[in-house]
Amino acid sequence: MKANRRNTKKQFKELSLRPIERKDLRLLRKWKNDSTARRSVGDGTRTFSEEDMERWFERTEALIDRDRRWIVVEGGRPVGFVGLYGIDLTRRHAEIGILLDSGARGRGIGREATWLVFDEAFNMLNLHRLYLHVLSDHRIAQKMYKRCGFRDEGRLRQHNFKAGRYVDVIVMGILASEHAAQHREEGRKRSPR
């Protein structure tokens, strides 16, 4: 609803990404178990115990070539995490994901953190394409991804089951060339004429 729409004009301190460490597990568990996050990602039935998180961390470390995750840091404080999943260096694509602390949402951090992942994906890993799956009723995420340059690529009808009903899933994607073009465009806007 319009009245609830928040102003997300860059209302955050300096943002950076750093690798996940074992000491982050308590926070990561909090974020993954957050009720809104659970409703927004997957079927929302899963909660994570401390032991689950330990196993999750071990798997993450073991699969570092396939999946990479980073903590999003705002002004020195961890505020969420982002990831590239199923990294395929032959076809040069990966799936992107993001989960922010409930207190960090609606301030433009999601958009900026996604841009930081673009740098990792397109400039460091030399990927050609990023894609994602988002629930059709998750308007905030769709809006954020569109503002980052993702395009709608398809609709998986009734692909997910959530709160007693089937929900469509939207596939979105962005190519390295599309990101490079918008990067040039942003640079033009920022540089003095």
Ligand X SMILES: CC(C)(COP(=O)(O)OP(=O)(O)OC[C@H]1O[C@@H](n2cnc3c(N)ncnc32)[C@H](O)[C@@H]1OP(=O)(O)O)[C@@H](O)C(=O)NCCC(=O)NCCS
Using CB under 6 A, list all residues that contact ligand X: 4-6, 8, 36-37, 40-41, 98-100, 105-111, 134, 138, 140-141, 143-144, 147
* Pair 149, 182: CB distance under 8 Å: yes
Nearer to ligand X, 40 or 160 (CB): 40
Helices (H) and strands (E) in the chain, counts: 6, 7
* Pair 8, 107: CB distance under 8 Å: yes
Minimum CB–partner distance for residue 76 and ligand X (Å):
18
Nearer to ligand X, 30 or 126 (CB): 30
Of 158, 190, 151, 147, give the one whose Cα is nearest residue 174.
151
| CA–CA separation, 193 and 177 (whole Å) | 25
157-192 as b/e, with b when 16 or more CB fall inside 10 Å? eeebebeeeebebbbbbbbbeebeeebeeeeeeeee
Closest residue to ligand X, judged by C-beta, is 110
Minimum CB–partner distance for residue 28 and ligand X (Å):
13
Nearer to ligand X, 111 or 162 (CB): 111
Nearer to ligand X, 62 or 161 (CB): 161
Minimum CB–partner distance for residue 191 and ligand X (Å):
22
Minimum CB–partner distance for residue 32 and ligand X (Å):
10
